[in-house]
A and B are shown apart, each in its own frame.
Chain A
Amino acid sequence: MTASEYNRCVDEFADGVYRFVLKNIRDTEAAKDIVQDTFEKMWRLREGIDANKGKSYLFTAAYRTLIDFTRRKRQNVSDEKLISWESETVVAHDVKEMIDRALGTLPEDQRVVITLRDMEGYSYDEIGEITGFSESQVKVYIYRARLAMKKYLVSLEVLL
């Protein structure tokens, strides 16, 4: 990957990577840091990266950094607080926000695959490449996520 190709990746994918990370951790500053780290890594390793697979590489690297981040955060936050984050009182402002809220109730793995699926349109096998899950695992996670989100929204009487 040349510097120009790298810069093109910045232009084309930085927003998407940022949105993907932000949707999963809901922390703007941390999301920016992860995006920065992701592109730093791409630049360092650019000689071994096929420019045609730049997007896949970025999401893979972002996913790994994201997982590291959430694990570190989990170690620093008590279980009680984590649980309260997921069950805090819901105040509905719009449907998107309610869907985000439903997303926040999902286990991390399901949350990641559903955002890759819905926001980036990745196929099961592409999500598998990014996350390291098998294709069937990805499919199961997506199905479970949809079911759980629907039940959550319906329980809140959210009409889509």
Chain B
Amino acid sequence: MIGMDNYEIWFIDFLDGKLSSGQEAELYTFLSLHPDLKAELDDLSVDVPLLFETLHVPDLPLKKEIKPVGNITEANYEQIFIASREGDLSSSEKLGLEEFLTINPFLVFEKSYYEKLTVSHRGERFLQKNRLKRSPLVVPLFRYAAAASVIVLLGVGIARYNLGISHQPAEMALSYTWGFPKTGYPQVEVTNVSNVMAAAQTKKHEITEAMGRSVNLPMRITGIDLQVAVPLPTHGFNANISESHFPGFSIQENGMDDDALSFRQVVGKVMESSFGESGLSDGLRKEQPITAKDMVDLAASPFKNDKQPVLSTTGDNTGGKRRIKLNLGIFEADFALH
């Protein structure tokens, strides 16, 4: 058997024409594994045709008579080699191919050529994955949850922006309250956004009954990353909000991408994604549906030029606590970042 310790002897025997067909096939296979040795073989004799010429797969059949075995002939043996490579041969066909190669050993190399001929990549990576990603969204169950989601959306976005938080640590807690101007609604205590929805669903009947009287739902959300789920594209959220809308806030325009969305667009997308075109009030007050468009208009209203700014801060940054008060007309929200 040819190896690194005796290949030179094989080379000389090859050049002297002393190798059998099977040994020549073995030599070809060896050279395919060690192509660097080809030059060494070529150097042994300038009188001998270049190895490439000798190794040329198409040349081999010209130099050797291909003996058919079963259905494998000179006309179709390459198809059989490809079929073998693709795993398309049956057990009996595999046996036939083995026999064919035993009888025509000089074709072993050609078969191995097909097996090595594979299109492969170079490890290229798509580096803009973050641009492709989207924010997961919570689908609120009814209008109160929907309203809450808008407020959470606003509050989280604003808090994150103004406090310079680019990524919400898991342990950070954000508490907020929201409610309609009228008070006295049932109290709901929740620990995360999933629970907001669950709690809201539980209280659905009470809320429905009390509709029009009052709403006051203190909530506590922990682990904002979980499902507040409205981690808006932070680069886009504040892009088109002017500083005048946020007394006491310092709006910085850095870090905005060219494809940043306007506030209205963002809210619109969230609403559209969350509620579709059917509106928000299915299962609740069907006689007075609130559509996604309504919500968008509502959420955008504070930012229209003819309206007074309705977003303001209370408290300060000292003591690690920041409060943000949000009034969108029919509901208010108080955010405190701990």
Contacts and interface: CB of A to CB of B under 8 A. Distances in A.
Interface size class of A (residues with CB under 8 A): 35 or more
Contact of B114 (A23, A119, A146): A146
Interface stretch (B15-23, B79-87, B216-224): B79-87
B132 A119 contact: no
Contacts of A23: 119, 121
B125 interface: yes
Given A17-B126, A157-B52, A160-B32, A3 B134 contact: yes
B57 interface: yes
Nearest to A94: B122
B133 interface: yes
A62 B77 CA distance: 35
B124 A7 contact: no
Interface in A15-42: 15, 17-19, 22-23, 32, 35-36, 39
A143 B134 contact: no
Contacts of B132: 10, 14, 35-36, 39
Contacts of A143: 79, 82-83, 86
Interface in A110-139: 114-115, 118-119, 139
Nearest to A157: B52
Contacts of A157: 52, 56
Contacts of B114: 146, 150
A160 B124 contact: no
Contacts of B58: 151, 154-155
A19 B117 contact: no
B119 A114 contact: yes
B82 A146 contact: yes
Contact of A160 (B78, B79, B117, B126): B117
A144 to B, nearest CB: 9
Interface string B236-266: 0000000000000000000000000000000
Contacts, number: 97
B134 A154 contact: no
B102 interface: no
B116 A160 contact: yes
A39 B130 CA distance: 12
Contacts of B31: 159
B136 interface: yes
Contact of A4 (B52, B78, B121, B136): B136
B82 A19 contact: no
Given A143-B79, A159-B52, A119 B135 contact: no
A42 B231 CA distance: 20
A157 B39 CA distance: 14
Contact of A146 (B117, B124, B131, B133): B117
Contacts of A11: 129
Contacts of B78: 147, 150
A115 B119 CA distance: 6
A96 interface: yes
B82 to A, nearest CB: 5
Contacts of B135: 3
Nearest to B52: A157
B126 A14 contact: yes
B128 interface: yes
A19 B129 contact: no
A119 B121 contact: yes
Contacts of A18: 124-126
26 contacts: A3-B134, A3-B136, A7-B133, A7-B134, A18-B125, A23-B119, A32-B128, A35-B126, A35-B132, A36-B132, A99-B118, A115-B119, A118-B118, A119-B119, A146-B117, A147-B78, A150-B113, A150-B114, A150-B117, A153-B117, A154-B57, A159-B32, A159-B35, A159-B52, A160-B116, A160-B117
